[in-house]
Amino acid sequence: MFFRKPSGISWLVVFLGNPGPKYAGTRHNAGFLTADAAERRYHVSINRSRFKALTATCDLGGEKVLFLKPQTYMNLSGDAVLQAVSYYKLPADHVLVVSDEMALPVGKIRIKPRGSAGGHNGLKSIISSLGTENFPRIRLGVGEAPPEYEVKDWVLSTFRNGDAEAISSAAEKAAQAVEAYITLGPEKAMNQFN
């Protein structure tokens, strides 16, 4: 028989980004944009300070989920994730990470049940902290850096014109995909959103 901790948290959803107004609306903060969409969709406020992050709990299809926005800056996201995972004793496959993805066109989303960091420093930090790549992710396309941009400058640039609308729509879809992944499982969620 399976006994859960009294908290009942069965999933952790991690929205990656950098804290503070300087980074608001940047490509690297696509995860935080999805957190904003999740707040609206699920009527929660991700504002409780715990685990070096802002958090909120939410019921998704009978599963008690902890939403987490690390406040450590991207490169140290794993610190916040590890604290929450250790506290709730969650397996890696119940840690769903939402992040930006340069290899996808702006506005596209892709769900993967596992994978490498693909050069993403936030994912590298989480992989290092958890000791595995076997955690699911929802990646939001932010487009490849044009030749005149360094990668760092590109991911820290803001969305403009049609890109702003496309990422806003993608964030809404990604917030829906979070629930689909948790309640329907990876195959159905990937068929619906990829």
Chain CA centroid to CA 30, Å: 8
Determine which one of 28, 43, 94, 120 is catalytic: 28
Task: Give the DSSP letter string of 131-164.
Answer: T-S-S-EEEEE--PPPTTS-HHHHHTSBP-THHH
Cα separation of 131 and 150, whole Å? 30
Residue with tokens 């990937």: 190
Chain CA centroid to CA 183, Å: 17
Active-site residue, 28 included? yes
Residue with tokens 């790549």: 133
Q: Which of 159, 119, 156 is nearest to 139 (CA)?
A: 119
The residues that are catalytic are: 28
